[in-house]
Amino acid sequence: MLKVGLTGGIASGKSTVSEIFASLGAQILDADEVAREVLLPGQPAWTMLRQAFGGEFFNADGTVRRKKLRKLVFADPEKRKQLDAIVHPEVMREINRRSETSSSSIQSGVLLVDVPLLLEVGVANRFDKVVVVYASERVQIKRLIRRDGISEEEAKQALKAQMVLKQKVEQADYVIDNNGRLEETQVQVQRVWQELLELARAKSPTVE
C-alpha cells in the first residue's frame, strides 16, 4: 500500500482537492474527523485538553467549544503548541491504527491521509509521498473572509498561525495549484492520481 499525506494551508482548498481524489477512487482518511472523535467527552485527549485549558472551552454537554478554542490558539502561538501536543499524538495513533486495519481492503493500493498540520508537526516521514495544495496568500485571505465571515485582520492572523504555504511547497512531492478554476484543479489532481496509482502498482505488483 502507498500511504500519501495530503496537506495545505487554511483556505487553500484542500477539502476540495480531497473530494476530487475521492471521486477518482481514493480511500481517504481525514485527520480532522479523527480529531473530532479523539476529543469526544471522556477520551484521553479530551481529559488532557480540559485540564490544560479549563472548563470555559467546553459546552454544557462536555463537547469542545471549537470556535472559542480556535480563536485563542490563532492569537497565542504557545497555546497552539500546547493544543497540538495534546491532540496530534492521539490523532496520529488513531490514523496509524486505521491505516493498518484498512490496508488489505484498499483496491487502488493508495491510502490518502488528509492532515492539515502534517509538516508543522513533523510526521511527513510516515508517508511515502506528500501532496501539498497551494493557493496564494491573497486568495487564502479572500476565501477566509468569505467562508468564515471574519475581518481581513482576523484572516491574516489565522495565516500567521500556520507555516507559510510556500515553505510547505518546498517539501512536497506533488503540488496542486488551487488558485484557478475548479476544472484546472481537477486536471492536476487526475494527473497526480495516475502517478500515485503507478507508484502503488510498482510497490505492490498484485494491485490491479
The alpha carbon dihedral of 202, 17, 33, 156 has a sign of positive
Q: Which three cell numbers stand for residue 205?
A: 505488483
Residue of 164, 168, 163, 157 lying closest to 76 (CA atoms): 157
Q: Which strand ranges, in their side-by-side order, compose the sheet holding 110-114?
A: 27-30, 110-114, 2-8, 129-134, 174-177
CA 43 to chain centre: 21
- Phi, psi (rounded to 5 degrees) for 3: -105, 120
User: Which pLDDT belongs to residue 71?
Assistant: 87
User: Which pLDDT belongs to residue 207?
Assistant: 47
User: Which pLDDT belongs to residue 106?
Assistant: 78
CA 138 to chain centre: 21
What's the predicted TM-score (pTM) here? Answer: 0.88
Q: Cα(194)–Cα(203) distance, rounded to whole angstroms? A: 14
Q: Cα(45)–Cα(90) distance, rounded to whole angstroms? A: 7
Domains, the chain, in order of start with CATH, read 2-201 (3.40.50.300)
User: Which pLDDT belongs to residue 64?
Assistant: 96
pLDDT along the chain (208 residues), means of 10: 94 95 93 94 96 96 93 89 93 90 78 92 92 96 93 90 91 97 97 96 67
User: Which pLDDT belongs to residue 206?
Assistant: 55
